[in-house]
Homo-oligomer: A and B are copies of this chain.
Amino acid sequence: MTDGLSRVPTAEFERVLAGVPDRYDRARAFATLARINTLYMVMRAGSGHLGSSFSAMDVVAALLLEELDEPFAENGDVYFSSKGHDAPGLYAALIGLGALDEDLVHRLRRIGGLPGHPDVHTPHMPFNTGSLGMGISKAKGLILADRLRGVTRRVFVLTGDGELQEGQNYEALAGAVHRGMGELTVVVDHNKIQSDTWVRDVNDLGDLPARFAGFGWAVLRCDGHDPQAIDAVLRKRFDAHAGQPAVIIADTIKGGGCATFAATSMGPDEWRYLFHSGAPSTEDYRTAHRELVDAATAILRANGLGDLVLAGEAPAAPRPAGGERLVPAYGEALVARAARHQEILALDADLVLDTGLIPFSQTYPERFVEFGIAEQDMVSAAGGLASQGFLPFVHSFSCFLLARANEQIYNNATEDRKIVYVGTLAGLLPAAPGHSHQAVRDVGSVAAVPGLAVLTPCNIAEVGHAVDFCVSTSDSVYLRLASTAVPAAVAALPTGPLVAGRGRVVREGGSTIAIGAGPVVLAELLSAAEELKADGIELTVVNLPWLNRVDPDWLAELTDGAESLFVVEDHYLRGGQADTVARTLLELGGTPPRFRGIGVDHVPQCGTEAEALAAHGLSARQLADAIRGERPAVRLDITVSPR
């Protein structure tokens, strides 16, 4: 199999660890093997964070191999990553040490496997991270608990450098000094590149040591790829600053340890780093793999261990499904409207690619404002811009924008500012990054914000109408955009100008009606309708792109004579479209149709799209069963684990 992937078996890690006597060479060898397996895992998954995993790998190796006392024992030293992007690398290291089952190496970002970001249900993951900026606070809680329990141990937290744009870090820094937390060491994986590009271009950190020192922390610095330097700085940290929280700024290279992915290999005209989160091409895989195997072999041979023994050959994940995508279409639509509306501005929080803003930022650089990973600052600044008559379109992933800046969005609303909040990666899919990135409570968290409409288009044509609505309405809008490919059946659906609270029948049927919105839900409903047809049920499918509004007159007309009404959503059971429709239907009075809302009833599972839909009862087949009445009615409680 020419595309086959190979990896380092755990037994080979054991052989190398036992056979390289010099601790620094051993760390180098271990990190190289772990990089090989990180690459394997990301290729198998089809996505994952290579750049961060590689930059952090030598620090992780130093901590796990040498520094931590009993890291896998109950009250042993603790290490975790706050940024969480380096999860594949950490998993690879833990598998190499036998602390995680070897079989998991094949199951990155798969259901029952290793989530895209750390989750406590995986062994040796003390916390869920990936929502940035929470790690230092969590570590402080752990240390306070240790003190109360009389446990003495050290806690090491890895942060990113872009992550240091999040304000929560500074809330955390202050209190750690106030409480003299000598147990706490923060290591900054200072690879100088955040999600999109160089930190200095996004939102410069300035004099980083001075920032930490200004909060009273001990500050140390080292080459984060040199095991000897890492060791020396750790000794200094505990010898010279024992009673004080300390930060070690580890100077690293994004993608470091492998020339193929190293940011130092970027050309002078390349502004964007390409290996932050996606899987590399087959060609890049091969080059990098060869390079890493050669590096490992050199160390092994120097230590008389012969050649590296690899296991193979597994296939890479299939490339993502084709089909139109809403996010780039949105970006183009925004550029087009901005030509006619000088008041339109675009604000971004380090996701210029993933929110479709590259064309806007290039067409209207003076009307594009990059805030870095600072959602609260961005949203409040949007309020300042709106106060002067501008119309800010504010962007991030839905999971972060609506939650992290929740109070700021409300504050803007109380000022009656018109602002458009654009959240991408909305809904259950893609499920590969894991629940920190799956926005399934975004609608509920802002549904009651005054004068804010929540709107989710299903295809490119509807994206255009949605952006037109955003520009012309007097209300604010949360524009909820799915980032997955739009299935062909949904791409072909007819659309037209949007009227608040009103939907459109997209499949004519009988007295059984299903309402949904967005490409994922509508695609499954259209497929379910085909299944039900075989049973003689002609399902009426309705696209209602409004998630917190419904026009009572329209709903009355739609449900007149209906036997049953289903509302299906890629959102938790509470707070979304089903609540809106149910409440309105009930307040209409009379005898309503049989009603059932179908949504997510437990924390989203990480996996492929098909795995996640099935895990949450949202696949076409499961929807067809539910509509046939073959599945018991749900309760509205939402739980952490499947029941």
Enumerate chain A interface residues (CB-CB to B < 8 A). Answer: 119-120, 126-128, 131, 133-134, 137-146, 148-149, 165-172, 174-175, 177-178, 203-207, 210-216, 345, 366-367, 369, 371-372, 374, 376-390, 392, 399-400, 403-404, 406-408, 410-411, 413-416, 435-436, 440-441, 444-451, 548-550, 552, 571-576, 578-580, 582-587, 589, 591-592, 594-597, 602-603, 633, 635-641
Contact B436 A441 (CB under 8 A): no
Q: Which residues of B contact A400 (CB under 8 A)?
A: 407
Contact B381 A140 (CB under 8 A): yes
Partner of A451, one of B131, B580, B638: B638
Smallest beta-carbon distance A407→chain B, Å: 4
Smallest beta-carbon distance A587→chain B, Å: 6
Q: Which residues of B contact A119 (CB under 8 A)?
A: 414
CA distance A167 to B407 in the complex (A): 13
Contact B146 A388 (CB under 8 A): yes
Contact A441 B451 (CB under 8 A): no
Partner of A640, one of B450, B584, B637: B450
Smallest beta-carbon distance A576→chain B, Å: 8
Smallest beta-carbon distance A414→chain B, Å: 5
Partner of A444, one of B167, B371, B444: B444
Partner of A414, one of B366, B435, B635: B435
Smallest Cβ-Cβ distance to A135: which chain B residue? B380
Q: Which residues of B contact A210 (CB under 8 A)?
A: 210, 213-214
CA distance A406 to B403 in the complex (A): 5
CA distance A177 to B449 in the complex (A): 32
> Contacts A171-B165, A214-B213, A583-B578 hold; do A138 and B178 have CB atoms under 8 A apart?
no
Q: Contacts A172-B380, A451-B640 known; list 19 others, CB within 8 Å.
A: A128-B411, A138-B380, A139-B384, A144-B369, A167-B169, A167-B170, A169-B170, A170-B170, A174-B204, A399-B407, A414-B436, A444-B444, A444-B445, A444-B575, A447-B575, A448-B575, A450-B603, A575-B575, A582-B583
> Contacts A168-B380, A380-B168 hold; do A633 and B137 have CB atoms under 8 A apart?
no
Contact A384 B140 (CB under 8 A): yes
> Contacts A384-B127, A450-B602 hold; do A175 and B149 have CB atoms under 8 A apart?
no
Smallest Cβ-Cβ distance to A450: which chain B residue? B638
CA distance A329 to B74 in the complex (A): 39
Smallest beta-carbon distance A373→chain B, Å: 9
Contact B587 A416 (CB under 8 A): no
Smallest beta-carbon distance A211→chain B, Å: 4
Q: Which residues of B contact A127 (CB under 8 A)?
A: 383-384, 387, 415
Contact A410 B414 (CB under 8 A): no
Partner of A376, one of B171, B174, B583: B171
Q: Can you pick out 10 interface pairs between chain A and chain B where the beta carbons lie within 8 Å of each other?
A: A134-B380, A138-B381, A141-B384, A142-B387, A144-B369, A174-B374, A212-B214, A403-B406, A406-B406, A413-B603
Q: Which residues of B contact A171 (CB under 8 A)?
A: 165-167, 371, 374, 376-377
Contact A574 B640 (CB under 8 A): no
Smallest beta-carbon distance A606→chain B, Å: 11
> Contacts A210-B213, A372-B174, A448-B573 hold; do A636 and B603 have CB atoms under 8 A apart?
no
Interface centre among A213, A441, A449 (most CB of B within 10 A): A441
CA distance A641 to B403 in the complex (A): 25
Contact B383 A141 (CB under 8 A): yes
Partner of A215, one of B175, B211, B633: B211
Partner of A586, one of B380, B549, B586: B586
Smallest beta-carbon distance A194→chain B, Å: 13
Smallest Cβ-Cβ distance to A413: which chain B residue? B640
Contact B635 A415 (CB under 8 A): no
Smallest beta-carbon distance A371→chain B, Å: 6
CA distance A323 to B554 in the complex (A): 48
Smallest beta-carbon distance A79→chain B, Å: 14
Contact B552 A635 (CB under 8 A): yes
CA distance A377 to B141 in the complex (A): 9
Contact B131 A407 (CB under 8 A): yes
Q: Which residues of B contact A204 (CB under 8 A)?
A: 174, 177-178
Partner of A214, one of B203, B211, B371: B211
Q: Which residues of B contact A143 (CB under 8 A)?
A: 384
Smallest Cβ-Cβ distance to A594: which chain B residue? B589
Q: Which residues of B contact A139 (CB under 8 A)?
A: 384
CA distance A372 to B174 in the complex (A): 10
CA distance A383 to B143 in the complex (A): 12
CA distance A638 to B390 in the complex (A): 23
Partner of A175, one of B140, B203, B211: B203
